[in-house]
Amino acid sequence: MCAHEAVKDSGTILNAKPTLLTVLETLARLDGKKHDCFLTVTFVDDVELGDAQALARILSTIDSEKGVRIQPPPAGQLYYKAFTPDPSLLDRDERIYHPWELSLSEKNGQVEGTLVRIDSIWKEGSAVSELEASEARVSGPEDLRKALDAEAERTRKAGIRARPPVILAFAPATLPYGMLLRFLAPVLLTHKTIHVYLDAPMPTVPPARRKPPESP
């Protein structure tokens, strides 16, 4: 299925018009015939992330053994569940691990961002940890790959456990899917779990615990 356009079976288009409504009607019709539907979802490059999220929320309600079974996406694509992220991951004080956080913006057709590493710092005698944020500006996909590779090398040399290969991406709902995908493309093989939060502010860290921006 190509989001907002067509439901296809071996190249045959099953919905009459390229609209979300006909996509859902087609899926309901197949379900009514008691077919086992195994669906692969891909998003076209020009679909806005807000529209991708709207579809993902609907798909999440029918993705079950008694409904439509949605398969992993083709290589290089985001799984539809990336657009229905767990809101509890935004609570830095309560989550059990700290994924990478990536704040993205678009200007003049170019995407850039800030990559944030959160660490829990335990001080001697303290019963709770403090959060420390390290930021790195990433002006393009190559910078993002370099920053993650540098962190992997840092942890290897320090002999500490590597950070989970998870990225929380904060992006505007109007950003085209293709632009997001191209920015993330160099890291999708190593960081397959992506959570996309739309028009949501990245959690803040007190200035006293924020390190100066780093170069990738």
Question: What gap in Å lies between CA 61 and CA 46, rounded to an integer?
Answer: 25
How many H-runs (helices) and E-runs (strands) does the chain carry?
4, 9
Quote the pLDDT of residue 1: 47
- Token pair, residue 215, equals 């170069």
**pLDDT tens column, 78-135:** 999 999 999 999 998 888 889 999 999 999 999 999 999 998 887 776 667 788 889 9
Q: What would you report as the CA-atom Rg of the chain, rounded to the nearest whole angstrom?
A: 20
Residue 12: per-residue pLDDT:
54
What whole-number distance in Å separates Cα of residue 75 and Cα of residue 184? 13
CA 12 and chain centroid, separation:
30
CA–CA gap between residue 202 and residue 85 (Å, rounded): 14
Residue 33: pLDDT band (50, 70, 90) is low
- Check whether 9 has a pLDDT greater than 70: no
Q: How far is it, in rounded angstroms, from Cα 61 to Cα 185?
A: 28
Q: List the Cα angle 85/185/155 in 5-degree steps.
A: 80
Q: What is the Cα–Cα distance from 78 to 75, expressed in whole angstroms?
A: 8
Paired tokens of 82:
């990336």
Of the pLDDT bands very low, low, confident and very high (cuts 50, 70, 90), residue 23 is low
The pTM (predicted TM-score) of the whole model is 0.81
Task: Please check whether residue 78 is in contact with residue 196, taking contact to mean a CB–CB distance below 8 angstroms.
Answer: yes
Q: What is the pLDDT of residues 145-201, one digit of tens each?
A: 999 999 999 999 989 888 899 999 999 999 999 999 999 999 999 999 999 999 988
Round to whole Å and give the CA distance between 10 and 74. Answer: 15
Select the more confidently predicted residue: 74 or 205: 74
